[in-house]
Structure formats: structure tokens, C-alpha cells
């Protein structure tokens, strides 16, 4: 029997926070649709939609990189709300860019279909502050 959606989401953040590439890859294989997608706010340098396990594998490998130069670092889950086929996670992190960081956070909405991740859509608190840090 496959893991429940809330368990998959919690396991993802645990693996991402620990920069555990093997755990992220295992989750991708076991718990994501072939055409699963992640969508970040368009205002971010890496904003937009990425789709498919092959592309997500590369993205997740980047999440596992120690000492990232840009993007979220110090990921912590504040809460997870279970709505069955939709799970919402509130996360906090430091957004890194150009050798500096700002405290930030996001609400990420995970959608499941047939027990597998179909989409994760991230809603950052302040993309303008993230952009300012890039200048």
C-alpha cells in the first residue's frame, strides 16, 4: 500500500531539509506521477512550471546540494493541513542570493491523483523581497 498524501509531503520536506538526495529520489520514484509538476512563482529567477520525473529529478538533486548559492535554505515546516487529495504545507526558510539572505516562507499546495503527487504549487510570501536580494 502506498503512503498517504500527508506522509508523502512530510517525507519530502524532511528529505529536502536534510539535503538527502537518495530520499528525494526514492520519493520521486515511488510517490510522483510520471508527468508530475512543480510550479514556483513567476517572479522568482527559477519561477515557472517544471514537469516530468526526469526534470524533477534534476531539480530535486539541486535541492540536495550543500551550501546552495541561491534559493531556500534552512527549510522548516510550520504546519501541514491534510485535505485528502490536497495537502497544504506552510514552510519557512532563508532565501539566499548574492551572499546574503532574508527570512521568507511559502504556502505550498500539493495535489494528488490516484495516490501520487500530480502537482505542487508554491506561493511565496514576498517575491519582491527575493528579487531585491538578487540585485
Query: Which position has the higher pLDDT, 65 or 16?
Result: 16
Identify which of 73, 61, 90 has the alpha carbon closest to the alpha carbon of residue 133: 73
Domains: count for the chain: 1
CA distance 99 to 119: 31
The residue whose grid cell reads 539566499 is 96
CATH of the domain at 88: 3.10.450.50
Length of the chain: 135
Q: Read off the pLDDT of residues 4-52 as tens digits, 9 standing for 90 and up.
A: 999 999 999 999 999 999 999 999 999 999 999 999 998 887 789 999 9
The residue whose grid cell reads 530520499 is 23
Domain holding 71, by residue range, is 5-134
At 1, the pLDDT band (50, 70, 90 cuts) reads very low
Amino acid at each position: 500500500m502506498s503512503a498517504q498524501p500527508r506522509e508523502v509531503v512530510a517525507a519530502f520536506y524532511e528529505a529536502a531539509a536534510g539535503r538527502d538526495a537518495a530520499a528525494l529520489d526514492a520519493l520521486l520514484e515511488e510517490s510522483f506521477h510520471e508527468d508530475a509538476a512543480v510550479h514556483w512563482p513567476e517572479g522568482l529567477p527559477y519561477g515557472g512550471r517544471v514537469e516530468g520525473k526526469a526534470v524533477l529529478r534534476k531539480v530535486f538533486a539541486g535541492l540536495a546540494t550543500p551550501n546552495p548559492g541561491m534559493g531556500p535554505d534552512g527549510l522548516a515546516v510550520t504546519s501541514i493541513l491534510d485535505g485528502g487529495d490536497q495537502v497544504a504545507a506552510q514552510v519557512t526558510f532563508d532565501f539566499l542570493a548574492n551572499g546574503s539572505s532574508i527570512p521568507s516562507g511559502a504556502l505550498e499546495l500539493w495535489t494528488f491523483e490516484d495516490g501520487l503527487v500530480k502537482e505542487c504549487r508554491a506561493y511565496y510570501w514576498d517575491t519582491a523581497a527575493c528579487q531585491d536580494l538578487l540585485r
